[in-house]
Structure 1
Amino acid sequence: MGNPNKHILVHRPKDLSVKWAQRVVRRYVPEASVFGVNVNSVDVGTSTRLRVEVHHDASGVVPARWFIKTPSLALKPRLITAVPRFLHKEVSFYRSLSAGIPLKLPRILAAESRFGHGSTLVMSDLAEYDFRPGRAADALSIDQASRVIKHLAQLHGHYRNTPSLLHAHRWLNGFSHQMETHMGTLMAYPFMKRGLQLAGGLIAKKLHQPALNYAANRRTIKQLLNTDSKTLVHYDCHPGNIFWAGAEPGFLDWQLVRIGEGIGDVAYFLATALEPQLRRKHEKNLLNQYIEQLANAGVVGLDEDHLFRRYRMHLVYPFEAMVVTLAIGGMMQHEANLELIRRAAAAVDDHDSFALIKV
């Protein structure tokens, strides 16, 4: 049959034909037939996300409801994500690394990426298994946050103990990562300035100049935030990239996956997923749970005070990410973006995070 991932690239909803769907279905049941394809929804952000119902005679083996990711149909998000090839990186993750991940992930049906032609990721719709997708502005409970922290610790502990597993995947911090860093450095200051203006009163005035200083020194500060023990990190762990199988979390959207500091995932998650008042009350306990879970995973020599300081430092990144997202526009639902800015700004303010990363 040759490479089963070939010839599934799509660029717009009209490309989702019966013939196209049949190529995916016949990966699993060679004699199967597809009778129809209905596109139920199209959501355009950092990528184009399509929910599709496929009518075929391979039920029980191939799901009927699919979720498909292609490059964004919106110009600005497409330009921002195309050069560092974010979707290509996610395809690489699912094709070469996901099998060893100790987390619940969506079922991938097919994935293809070709330089100059784009990337397409086809997965089972979460609704097929009664999983509940998260929304970016969801405010999680402490029980939910505790479960996410536990799973992040399992991920981070697994790869901290076996760094050789990551060395074979040089693409993690390869071209995509380097281009993202270069583009981020070039665009940091103007986007931060515009994002601060657009956010208005959501960000205290006293944070504006420190945020601009951070943007002006972004490359040096990002290096500072990548000097501690390394592991595999999601790097975009907000509520919209989490789904729920009952009470247990699963993790979506691995476009920014890389090798980095695990505590950065924890900072990103707690800054975006919890109401500030709830975070202030429980974050120390949640960080202690993270340390305990790492220890249970066999990670030794953990220093609670040191890890808490790194946590405070890493809070600047979710703040930057959400402010820059607002400045670019079209990458996240607007009201959700504003809500996550409010939460992240409160976390940075509470911990005086910019003062810890002065260069």
Structure 2
Amino acid sequence: MSIPAGVDELTPEWFTKVLSAPIDKVEVIDAHSGTTGRARVALRSPADVPETVFVKLQPFVEEQRKFLRQIGLGVAEARLYATVGNELPVRAPRVWHADHDSADGSFVMVLEDLEASGCHFPSPSDDGILSVAESLVAELAVLHATYAGQDLGWLRTPSGMRRKPEDTEIAARRAQFIVSAVEQFADEMPAAFRRLGDLYAERSLEVVALFNEGERTLIHGDTHSGNLFVDRGRCGFFDWAVAGRGPGMRDVAYFLCNSLPIDMRRAEEAALLARYRGALADEGTTLDEHTAHEQYRLFSVYSWIAAASTAAMGSRWQPIDVSRAAMVSTTQAIEDLDAVGLLEERLG
């Protein structure tokens, strides 16, 4: 079955094939391109199909397509949705169709239109963001407990993001994002920003190796508020492009350090970590308090790396005001948690 190269190929005939139902008319309500191409599409059909769907496909600009082919994000997400999208134990968009071609990097996903389903999309400034956090840690515990210790042979990390601690070339490319962030922002940030930036630039291979220590499970990998939705009070997750294997605390720390207001994180992080541990226990998985806290400190570093790298790219990956706010929050988190001290202790 063909994989559409653009929205003009999202035809009634194509939808008829992938949905196995007659589609009489297709209307593209909205379409835009960033990291991927995205379109909200209305369908007219006598069959029992959704009135609207959300389609992710290749970016509309060739330069961005080339970038996405190099790192493999679209292919990785389409593969995950096709394999387990409708089996995930957490709320995620319903998958109507997902396909990819690893050879040329093409992909397409036809997903539930979350807006039409009545979901809303949280932001750090929302009055109810603490309730989102409480739901998020409970949902993540279910996800992490479900896949703990499993082989996950179907999972493929995006080709451009695979962690190979021995690969100095990959390490150098990743470190360059942080070098750029230090050059651009260190003078206006707390001292921990430059300390961590310099340490990571010098010893990125060793830092990345620490992120893989401990029991691993399926992790979403990118749990900032922009990849979340709320459905009748339940936190859900979309944009699974960087899903991988790792300690579950990485997902928890990513959100708490990136997307909770600083004062709220300081006041609530202990309770939220306890809630996560309790939800894990309910699922038969044990995580002791000391290990959880030390993992949280460590993965605050991962959250900072992601935010600082994104901010270093200006508005190419996210609007700069969003990425700068995340960078400020994660920098304060690493300072509060003495994450640099932890790294220095662990690395020797």
TM-score by length of structure 2 reads: 0.89
Deviation digits for residues 28-81 of structure 1 (CA, Å, limit 9, x no counterpart): x2xx1322x2222233322222222222332xx211211111233356654443
- Shift of residue 117, structure 1, vs aligned partner: 4.8
Distance in 2 (CA, whole Å) between partners of 1:188 and 1:137 is 30
Residues matched between the structures, number: 341
Q: Over residues 196-228 of structure 1, what are the superposed CA-to-partner deviations in whole Å (9 max), with x where a residue is unaligned?
A: 344466632442142132133222211112111
| Structure-2 change in CA distance of 1:119 and 1:322 (3 Å) | same
- Check if 1:68 corresponds to 2:52: no
Q: 1:78-227 to 2 correspondence within 5 Å?
A: 78-114=65-101, 115-134=103-122, 141-160=129-148, 163-164=149-150, 166-169=151-154, 171-173=155-157, 175=159, 177-178=161-162, 185-199=171-185, 203-227=189-213
Match of 2:292 in 1: 307
Quote the residue 1:250 is aligned against: 236
CA 87–291 in structure 1, closer or farther in 2 if over 3 Å, else same: same
Distance of 2:234 and 2:340 partners within structure 1: 34
CA distance in 1, matches of 2:123, 2:30: 16
Would the alpha carbon gap of residues 348 and 273 (structure 1) be closer, same or farther in structure 2, given more than 3 Å must change?
A: same
Shift of 1:265: 0.6
Deviations 1:83-133 (A, max 9, x none): 231111111111112343210111111111012151111112112211123
Give the superposed CA RMSD: 2.4
TM-aligned CA distance change 1:201 to 1:282, over 3 Å: farther
* 1:230-309 to 2 correspondences below 5 Å: 230-300=216-286, 302-309=287-294
Do residues 354 (structure 1) and 340 (structure 2) align?
yes
- Partner-residue secondary structure (3-state), 2:156: helix
1:214–1:354: 8 Å Cα contact kept in structure 2? no
In 1, Cα distance between equivalents of 2:331 and 2:128:
18
Alignment of 1:22 onto 2:6: no
Please give the per-residue CA displacement for 1:2-41, whole angstroms capped at 9, x wherever unaligned.
xxxx22x22233333333333333x2x2xx1322x22222
Structure 2 regions of 5+ residues with no counterpart? Answer: none
Partner of 1:319: 304
Alpha-carbon distance in structure 1 between the residues aligned to 2:61 and 2:206: 31
Identical aligned residues as a percent? 24
> 1:323/1:278 Cα in 2 relative to 1: closer, same or farther (>3 Å)?
same
1:49 is aligned to 2:38: yes
Contact conserved, 1:149 with 1:289, CA < 8 A, in 2? yes
Residue of structure 1 equivalent to 2:24? 34
The residue matched to 2:89 in structure 1 has which SS? coil
Distance (Å, rounded) in 2 between the aligned partners of 1:225 and 1:39: 42
The 1-side partners of 2:164 and 2:46 are apart by 43
Distance 1:43 1:341 in 2: 26
Q: Distance in 1 between matches of 2:299 and 2:244?
A: 15
> Could you give the per-residue CA deviations for residues 267-318 of structure 1, whole angstroms, max 9, x where no partner exists?
0010122100000001001101111111111113x32112101110111111
Q: Could you tell me which runs of 5 or more consecutive residues in structure 1 were left unpaired when the two chains were aligned.
A: 1-5
Q: 1:312 to 1:75 in 2, by over 3 A?
A: farther
Change (3 A) 1:33 1:51: closer
Aligned to 1:3: none
Counterpart AA for 2:109: L
d(CA) in 2 for partners of 1:140, 1:335 = 21
Normalising by structure 1, what TM-score? Answer: 0.86
For the 8 Å contact 2:76–2:157, the answer to whether it is kept is no
What amino acid is aligned across from residue 326 of structure 1 in structure 2?
A: A
Contact 1:48-1:69 at 8 Å conserved across structures: yes
Distance in 1, Cα, partners of 2:281 & 2:188: 38
**Pair 17,173 (structure 1): closer, same or farther in 2 beyond 3 Å:** closer
Confirm or deny: 8 A CA contact 1:101 1:155 kept in the other structure.
yes
Q: Structure 1 CA distance, aligned partners of 2:97 and 2:164? A: 26
User: Which one scores higher on RCO, CA 8 angstroms, separation ≥ 6?
Assistant: 1
